[in-house]
Amino acid sequence: MPRIKRAEYRIEDPSWVLDGKSLDHCQTATYDPANFTDVASKYKCIPSGYPVRLDARGNITPLAAETDTPDALVARDLSVAPGTGKQAAAVLTHGNVWHRRLPKVIVGGEAKTLVVDDTKKTPLVFIYKEEAN
């Protein structure tokens, strides 16, 4: 009898990037996995494209509500292993992205779609809404 094991793998998905050159505009930021426990419980990592807040010191934190305007998007999947302390991360602060392809924002343990308010432009990331065409 074969021993069959089940394993879950997450493959990084950059389909949220509208053009390939956007990832050239990443900058280095710092994150603490302890701040992303709700995100980790849903995705097992901080997924590529996850919207975050970026403070003046270069620290990223999750959005408090789905209506918050993100300052950056996580460029690559990030580990949320407990007890690892602060780590470096690449975040996209300038470029074009697909709104519908971004991962759901985790707010209060619930997955919600990021609300894009056309009156509040994201500082450097233009979020392209497909239904606008």
CATH code at 32?
Answer: 2.40.300
- Find the domain containing 62 and state its range: 20-132
1 part of a folded domain:
no
3 part of a folded domain:
no
Half-sphere exposure (CA, 13 Å, Cβ side) for 103? 27
If one compares 126 and 49, the residue with the highest pLDDT of the two is: 49
51 part of a folded domain:
yes
Q: In the prediction, which pLDDT does 84 show?
A: 83
10 part of a folded domain:
no
67 part of a folded domain:
yes
Does an H or E element contain 38, and which?
helix 37-43
12 part of a folded domain:
no
In this predicted structure, the answer to whether residue 133 has a pLDDT above a threshold of 80 is: no
30 part of a folded domain:
yes
Average pLDDT estimate for 111-121: 71
With bands split at pLDDT 50, 70 and 90, how would you rate the model's confidence at 10?
A: low
2 part of a folded domain:
no
d(CA 45, CA 52): 14
If one compares 97 and 105, the residue with the highest pLDDT of the two is: 105
Q: Which residue has the tokens 């994201």?
A: 122
If one compares 97 and 54, the residue with the highest pLDDT of the two is: 54
Average pLDDT estimate for 91-100: 82
Instruction: Select the highest-mean-pLDDT range: 9-13, 74-78, 123-127.
Output: 74-78
Q: How many distinct structural domains can be found in the chain?
A: 1
If one compares 117 and 34, the residue with the highest pLDDT of the two is: 34
Q: Give the predicted TM-score (pTM) of the model.
A: 0.80
d(CA 127, CA 133): 13
If one compares 52 and 113, the residue with the highest pLDDT of the two is: 52
